Every structure is written in C-alpha cells, then in structure tokens.
Amino acid sequence: MIYGRKDEVRLLREKNWRKQAALVVIYGRRRVGKTSLIEFAYQNETVWKFEGLEGDSSQVQLKHFYQKLCFYLPELRSKGLSPSNWSDGLVLLAEELKKQNKPVIVFFDEFQWLASQRSPFVSLFKSYWDNYFLKLRYCRFILCGSISSFMVKKVIRSKAFYGRIDTEINLLPLPLPDAALFFEKKRERSEVIEIAMTLGCIPQYLKELNPDFSLKQNLKEYAFSQSGFFFQEFHRLFISHFGKNLIYEKIIEKLSQKTQSAEQLATYCLTQTGGRFSDLLSDLELAGFIEKYSPLDSGLHSKLILYRIYDEYLHFYFRFIKPNTQQIIHGHFEPSLLLNNVTYRQWQGIAFERLCRKNSKLIAEYLRFSGIEYRCGSWFSHENKNSSGAQIDLLFERKDRILTVCEMKHTESLSGEKLVQDFEKKIKTLKQNYPRFGVQKILILAEKIEIPDKVKKYFDSILFAEDVLF
C-alpha cells in the first residue's frame, strides 16, 4: 500500500512499445519512498533486485551482487561462476536474463553505492547496456539512487547515457492531500499542516509518528530524546549524502537562520565563490535541501540570487534539535518550554510561508485562476534612491495582467493596522516594477482566528490553509 504516486506508477507500468529493453532512472532524497514505489508498481512482475551497500568497496558490492543473483537463480552456485570483476558480473547477468522465458524487472537500488560513487562503473555499465542489456527487449532496467547529485551529474547528464534513458523520475515528497491519507482521518487538517511544516511530507517520517500522540508529543519522544528517530536522523541523512565534508553542514546551518547570497555563504564558510563552492551549493540543491531563487520578474540569470533552506526536517533540526544536543543527551532538556516560546512561533511563520509556496498550485486552483497562464515565486528588491526595498514571499504573475500577491501568516492574532500598512508598502514598491498590472491582495492564514474589520476590508480574499491546501 502506498499513498498518491499515481503518475509515477503509471509511468513505471507503461507498456514498453520499443523493440529493446527500457531504462528507467529514479532519484530522490532518502526516506521519500523510492523503493516502496518500485516494489508496489511491479508487485505482480518478476523483479531481480540488487542493492548497493553504503560505503563498501567495489569487491564487496560485486560479492553481494552475485549472492543476490544466486538467490534468484540457485543453480548458479553449483556452476562455480562467481565473477572476479564487474565485467564478468554484468556479462553473467546478461546471459542469465537471456535464458529467461519471461519479462524481468532488473532493479539496481542505491545505484550510487553499487558504483562506489565512481564514474568508471557508470561507463562500464553503459558499455554493457549497449552491447548486451539493450537487446533484452522484454526486460526493464531500473537505476535508483538517493544521492541525487551522483544520479543527475554522473548518470542522467553523463555522456555515457545520453539518449539512452527512457524514463526519468525525480521522486519528490508527497503532495499535502496525499500525505493526509497516512493518518486515515485520525488527525485534523490543522495538525497535518503542522506536521508538514515541521517534517515535510516524507513518507518514512509520517510512518514514524505515533498515531496516538499529538505532534508535540511525538517531537518530545522522537526528536528531543537521545534514542529518538528524528534526533538521530540528521547523521543518517547527511553523512550518506555528503560524507564528512563539514562545509555542507555549515551552509545548511547558516540558511536555517535566514536567506543568504552565495557570497555571504562563502564568507561564512571561509572560502571563495565559484568553482568547487558552486558545486557544493548545486549538490545541496539537487538533494532537495536548499533552493536558489531570484525575483520573479528577473529569472535565475539575475544578479539578485539568494539561497534558502528548502527541507522542512533540516530546518527544524538546525533551529531546535542541534542547539540543544548536549542537553538532550544528558536528559536535561524540556521541549515544552521551547515549543511555546517566541523563537518557535517565528520559525512557524517561515515554515508556513514555505508550505504555501510549495503548494502554490493548490492556491491557484482555489482562487480559480489556474486555467490562466501564470508563473509564481518570490519577489524582492533592494532599497535604492528611487524606492524602498520589499519582499513578497509568494507572487503570481498572471497572463491576464493581474498580480495575485499573497501574504501568509501563522499567528494567533492579527494587528490590523500594522498588517495593512506593511502590505501596502510592499504593493507600492511592487507596482513600480509592474506599472500596468492590477493587484489582487490575498491573505492566507494558518489557523481560523478572529480577523479585524480593517483587514477584512483591505484584502480581496482571506483564505484559511485547511480549506485551501487539501
């Protein structure tokens, strides 16, 4: 049983009309459900699964590969065909597949570990693909990996596989409505929103939550406890992706506090921009941990480029778990004090804005302009002699020359006068850059609270997250 993933399952089950084997590449962060997706999609098929072993040598990977092949074909052991190198191993695989009188799904899980994160193995696999595997027209080969930088840079974008990949799937966290299905209506929509803000819609994280506990109880037991899953998860997640390179961690730590430019991040990490540092930022982007953005009206070729944290769990970890690590280990930490203070509420505001941006399509559908061509994202400008600076966290630039400007608030009460004044300043600066556009003013609230009359009169629509995001 899996939730959502209808489009991905359809792609994986799509009939292979080609007169050759099909090659599928799937990548995405750990815990996002890649293996579960593949096993669900091919539950009625013959699947030969070969897992890469994290951090082991090429010889250990080869030995494990052969053991799994013998599991599917027990008669191999008596033939003494144990391969001494990967060339022999891949030839043996091709020969045994050719003998099968049925289609086989050949599933290489954690492909980056199978390849020991080295390009030569990718080139070798390409050679055997061209000369052996491609001719097995009823087979489907799945290369699946959780190190997105390797899967994208060394496989998908490599010259070796150019024009050879039939299907590419970047498996993302679940859409919020699908994530809600995990809880079988046992949690209110408002709590599902809080879970998504805190941990993201990562299937494994949703499974780790005790259904009998509230979110805060779960965090107390599993995030602020030395033996808790979410306390330990950072090291499992980060080390598997980036080893012991501390610069990656420093970048995330800085971005957990506020958005930064590449120059600011490089200065913090005591290094220079460009070259290797740009590669580090790219690796974090491909992993889905951070995102790069620029003003909506300028695109990513703009000189105004900033970075912000994109992964919910990492944001929560660096703001609340890591700073209290020693207290948690020694059992001296009381999470109830943290989860009710000003810092936590400020973090909730940022997390709610991120959640709304990630679900911008649902907002467009709710406001009934999704049939109009649009682009959306953040917009900002720096202060100069002609205008004051401004930041809008979610802006829809519509083809009908309307700007749908969203203000997102996670709060228990609103100061009507201040909210309207601050928003009006943003609109004034925005209009200088979009002089011929009309403006639709939208307020999105995380909770159903009392709304001052001044706010009601000012905004064109006031939306509540639990109505819009499901």
Domains of the chain, each with CATH number or no CATH: 6-170 (3.40.50.300), 177-354 (1.10.10), 359-468 (3.40.1350.10)
Q: For the segment 272-322, what is each residue's pLDDT rounded down to a tens digit?
A: 998 999 999 999 999 999 999 999 998 667 788 999 999 999 999 999 999
Whether the Cβ atoms of residue 379 and residue 395 lie closer than 8 Å to each other: yes
Find tokens 């958005």 and name the residue: 259
User: What value does the CA radius of gyration of the chain take, rounded to a whole number of Å?
Assistant: 25
Q: End-to-end CA distance of the chain, in Å?
A: 21
Which residue numbers in the chain have pLDDT < 70?
299-300, 385-387
DSSP for residue 324: G
Question: Could you give the 3-state DSSP secondary structure of residue 237?
Answer: helix
Whether the Cβ atoms of residue 103 and residue 140 lie closer than 8 Å to each other: yes
DSSP-derived pairing of the beta strands 402-409 and 390-398 = antiparallel
Question: How many Cα atoms sit within 13 Å of 8 on the Cβ side?
Answer: 27
Question: What type of residue is 181?
Answer: L
What pLDDT score was predicted for residue 314?
97
DSSP for residue 256: T
Q: How many CB atoms lie within 10 A of CB 229?
A: 17
Question: What type of residue is 258?
Answer: K
Q: How many CB atoms lie within 10 A of CB 117?
A: 18
What pLDDT score was predicted for residue 300?
62
pTM (two decimals): 0.92
What pLDDT score was predicted for residue 261?
96
What pLDDT score was predicted for residue 244?
78
What pLDDT score was predicted for residue 388?
75
Q: Where are the alpha helices (DSSP H) in 287-324?
A: 312-316
CA angle 244, 250, 256 (to 5 degrees): 130
Whether the Cβ atoms of residue 114 and residue 58 lie closer than 8 Å to each other: no
Which residues are bridge partners to 445 per DSSP?
409, 464
What pLDDT score was predicted for residue 385?
67
CA angle 247, 251, 252 (to 5 degrees): 120
